[in-house]
């Protein structure tokens, strides 16, 4: 398991990892009959993507209601909402009012920013070669860099977090709080449980295209292998 570190400088981009890939962004509609059912990982509808529809590029899947202040190639400023992102080439950056989330090539994460400014980041794929890192902006000191290991969640706010705020996540997955320091907390999340409950990881959603389903399928396969 990768150790989390605080205050460590972000690594310089590795030239061999800066692979040019496609970029796909979509919004998922509210849950339907094809959504994840208890005890049925990945939903209760099974589809196999054709060879032509297999997708290996960077993707960003948004729950309905997600809002962005700016959408630039691989640089998104998120205002509110839940987002699943997988970086398969070049840089992927999410800017928020609390700081910036960096996904190196090969990394993936779930991001949730509430209307009250509570930010959650779950590292799905993250290791020494493909890190999920958050740079927290500090007005009085130097910015703080926080690296996340696979299955680790970072919870941040501009106010002191309560235990209920940390634990009460919309995905219904149990949290184990590992550290707490006022406006920042870390938890551990069960990835197998997340795979059964997270709507954005549901390949059974009926409105997904074959290409979108392929992107999620590959991510799910990667998570099952780790």
Q: Is residue 170 part of a domain?
A: yes
DSSP per residue, 84-116? EEE--SS-EEEE-SSEEEEE-TT-EEEEEE-TT
- Average pLDDT (113-126) is 96
pTM of this structure: 0.82
Task: Write out the residue range of the structural domain in which residue 206 sits.
Answer: 21-27+54-225
φ/ψ of 218, rounded to 5, equals: -65, -40
- pLDDT for the residue numbered 141: 74
- pLDDT for the residue numbered 11: 42
Phi and psi based region of residue 200 (left: phi greater than 0; alpha: psi -120 to 50; beta: remaining): alpha
Q: Is residue 6 part of a domain?
A: no
Number of folded domains that form the chain: 1
Find out whether 137 and 175 touch, Cβ atoms under 8 Å: no
User: Between β-strands 58-63 and 67-72, what pairing exists: parallel, antiparallel or unpaired?
Assistant: unpaired
Q: Is residue 33 part of a domain?
A: no
Q: Is residue 7 part of a domain?
A: no
- pLDDT for the residue numbered 226: 64
pLDDT per residue over 5-37, tens digit each?
333 434 434 434 444 557 899 998 776 434 444
192 membership: H or E segment, kind and range: helix 191-197
Out of 64-68, 87-91, 103-107, pick the least confident.
87-91
Residues sharing a CB contact under 8 Å with residue 24, sequence separation 6 or more, in sequence order: 55, 57, 58, 59, 60, 211, 212, 215
Query: Across the chain, which distance is largest between two alpha carbons, in Å?
Result: 53
pLDDT per residue over 166-222, tens digit each?
998 989 999 999 999 999 999 999 999 999 999 999 999 888 999 999 999 999 999
Q: Is residue 32 part of a domain?
A: no
């Amino acid at each position: 398991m990768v150790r989390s570190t605080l205050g460590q400088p972000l690594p310089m981009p590795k030239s061999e990892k800066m692979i040019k890939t496609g970029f796909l962004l979509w919004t998922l509609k509210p849950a339907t009959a094809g959504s994840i059912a208890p005890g049925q990982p990945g939903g209760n509808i099974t589809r196999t993507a054709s060879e032509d529809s297999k997708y290996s590029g960077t993707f960003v899947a948004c729950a309905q209601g997600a809002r962005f202040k700016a959408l630039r190639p691989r640089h998104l400023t998120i205002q509110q909402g839940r987002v699943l992102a997988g970086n398969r080439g070049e840089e992927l950056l999410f800017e928020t009012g609390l700081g910036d989330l960096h996904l190196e090539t090969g990394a993936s994460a779930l991001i949730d920013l509430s209307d009250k400014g509570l930010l959650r980041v779950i590292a799905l794929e993250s290791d020494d070669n493909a890190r999920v890192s958050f740079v927290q902006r500090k007005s009085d000191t130097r910015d703080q860099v926080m690296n996340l290991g696979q299955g680790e969640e970072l919870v941040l706010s501009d106010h002191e977090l309560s235990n209920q705020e940390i634990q009460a996540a919309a995905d219904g997955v149990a949290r184990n709080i590992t550290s707490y320091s006022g406006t920042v907390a870390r938890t551990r999340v069960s990835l197998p449980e997340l795979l059964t409950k997270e709507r954005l990881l549901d390949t059974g959603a009926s409105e997904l295209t074959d290409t979108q389903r392929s992107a999620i399928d590959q991510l799910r396969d990667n998570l099952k292998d780790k």
